[in-house]
Structure 1
Amino acid sequence: MRLPCCSARMVIILAVLATLTFAGALLLCFWGIPLVIREQIHQQTRLSEGTEQWDRFLELPFALNYSVRFFLVQNPSEVVHNGSVPDLKESEPYTYSMKLKKLDHRFDDNDEDSVTYHREFDFAFDYSGNTHPETMVTIINPLLMAALQLANSLERLAFAGCIDQLLGSARLDKPITTQSVKKLLFDGVNFGFTNETGAACTAVRNRIIPLLKDVRVVEEVEEETTGTRYFRIAFFNYKTINYLKTPPDGIYTVNRGQRNMSALGKIMRWNGGTTIPTYGTASSTNNETCHNLRGTDSTIYPPFLRKDEPIVIYNTDICRTVELFQTNSNLEYRGISGAHKYETNENLLRPATVTPEQDCYCSKATKNVEAKDDCYLDGTFDYKPCLGAPVILSQPHFLNADPKYGKNFTTLKPDKSKHAMYLIVEPNTGTPLEGLKRVQINTVLRQEPLISFITPPTMYQGIIPVLWLEESFSIPDKYLDLLDNQYFKKVKLATTFKYGFVGVAAAIFTGCLFLFVRKQFFKKKSN
Structure 2
Amino acid sequence: MISIVDGVKSVLQISENDPGLALLLVHLNANLKAVFNDPRSMFVSTSVREYLFDGVRFCINPQGIAKAICNQIKESGSKTIREQSDGSLAFSFFGHKNGSGHEVYEVHTGKGDPMRVLEIQKLDDSHNLQVWLNASAEGETSVCNQINGTDASAYPPFRQRGDSMYIFSADICRSVELFYQTDIQYQGIPGYRYSIGENFINDIGPEHDNECFCVDKLANVIKRKNGCLYAGALDLTTCLDAPVILTLPHMLGASNEYRKMIRGLKPDAKKHQTFVDVQSLTGTPLQGGKRVQFNMFLKSINRIGITENLPTVLMPAIWVEEGIQLNGEMVAFFKKKLINTLKTLNIVHWATLCGGIGVAVICLIYYVYQKGRVEEPPVK
Match of 1:158 in 2: 27
User: Structure 1 residues 376 and 142 mapped into 2: Cα distance closer, same or farther (>3 Å)?
Assistant: same
Match of 1:263 in 2: 116
Q: CA deviation at 1:524?
A: 4.5
Match of 1:186 in 2: 53
Q: CA deviation at 1:526?
A: 4.1
| Structure 1, gaps ≥5 residues long | 1-136, 223-227, 242-246
Does the 8 A contact of 1:351 with 1:377 survive in 2?
no
Are residue 233 (structure 1) and residue 98 (structure 2) matched? no
Does the 8 A contact of 1:186 with 1:237 survive in 2?
yes
Are residue 494 (structure 1) and residue 345 (structure 2) matched? yes
Q: CA deviation at 1:303?
A: 2.0
Matches within 5 A, 1:217-256: 217-222=80-85, 228-241=86-99, 247=100, 250-256=103-109
Does the 8 A contact of 2:127 with 2:146 survive in 1?
yes
User: Structure 1 residues 326 and 435 mapped into 2: Cα distance closer, same or farther (>3 Å)?
Assistant: same
Are residue 290 (structure 1) and residue 290 (structure 2) matched? no
User: Bigger CA drift: 176-185 or 414-423?
Assistant: 176-185
Match of 2:62 in 1: 197
Q: CA deviation at 1:521?
A: 3.4
* Cα deviation 1:414-436 (Å, max 9, x = unaligned): 21111110010001111100111
**Cα RMSD, aligned residues only:** 2.6
* Cα deviation 1:363-392 (Å, max 9, x = unaligned): 001224379984215210011000111111
User: Bigger CA drift: 144-153 or 281-290?
Assistant: 281-290
Does the 8 A contact of 2:205 with 2:214 survive in 1?
no
SS in 1 for 2:142: helix
User: Structure 1 residues 147 and 138 mapped into 2: Cα distance closer, same or farther (>3 Å)?
Assistant: closer
User: Structure 1 residues 347 and 358 mapped into 2: Cα distance closer, same or farther (>3 Å)?
Assistant: closer
Does the 8 A contact of 1:279 with 1:360 survive in 2?
yes
Matches within 5 A, 1:3-402: 137-139=1-3, 141-152=5-16, 153-168=22-37, 171=39, 174-193=41-60, 196-211=61-76, 213=77, 215-222=78-85, 228-241=86-99, 247=100, 250-281=103-134, 288-328=142-182, 330-337=183-190, 339-355=191-207, 359-369=211-221, 374-402=227-255
User: Structure 1 residues 487 and 180 mapped into 2: Cα distance closer, same or farther (>3 Å)?
Assistant: same
Give the distance between the partners of 2:27 and 2:101, measured in 1 at CA.
Answer: 31
Give the distance between the partners of 1:144 and 1:150, measured in 2 at CA.
Answer: 10
User: Structure 1 residues 391 and 440 mapped into 2: Cα distance closer, same or farther (>3 Å)?
Assistant: same
* Cα deviation 1:317-371 (Å, max 9, x = unaligned): 111101111112x32222112x111011123113455447971001001224379
SS in 1 for 2:185: strand
Does the 8 A contact of 1:365 with 1:373 survive in 2?
no
* Cα deviation 1:464-513 (Å, max 9, x = unaligned): 11111111111111101111112111111111122212222221211111
User: Structure 1 residues 441 and 317 mapped into 2: Cα distance closer, same or farther (>3 Å)?
Assistant: same
User: Bigger CA drift: 248-257 or 424-433?
Assistant: 248-257
Match of 2:366 in 1: 515
SS in 2 for 1:404: helix
Give the distance between the partners of 2:271 and 2:140, measured in 1 at CA.
Answer: 32
* Cα deviation 1:169-210 (Å, max 9, x = unaligned): 6x5x753332111211222222213xx211222112112123
TM-score, length of structure 1 as denominator length: 0.66
Q: CA deviation at 1:309?
A: 3.2
Does the 8 A contact of 1:287 with 1:360 survive in 2?
no
SS in 2 for 1:411: coil
Does the 8 A contact of 1:267 with 1:294 survive in 2?
yes
Q: Which amino acid aligns with 1:232?
A: A
Give the distance between the partners of 2:282 and 2:94, measured in 1 at CA.
Answer: 33
Q: CA deviation at 1:523?
A: 4.3
Q: Which amino acid aligns with 2:171?
A: D
SS in 1 for 2:354: helix
Give the distance between the partners of 1:412 and 1:231, measured in 2 at CA.
Answer: 33
Give the distance between the partners of 1:482 and 1:140, measured in 2 at CA.
Answer: 50
Aligned length: 371
Give the distance between the partners of 2:216 and 2:353, measured in 1 at CA.
Answer: 65
- Greater relative contact order, per chain length (Cα 8 Å cut-off, separation 6+): 1
TM-score, length of structure 2 as denominator length: 0.89
Does the 8 A contact of 1:294 with 1:314 survive in 2?
yes
| Structure 2, gaps ≥5 residues long | 17-21
SS in 2 for 1:492: helix
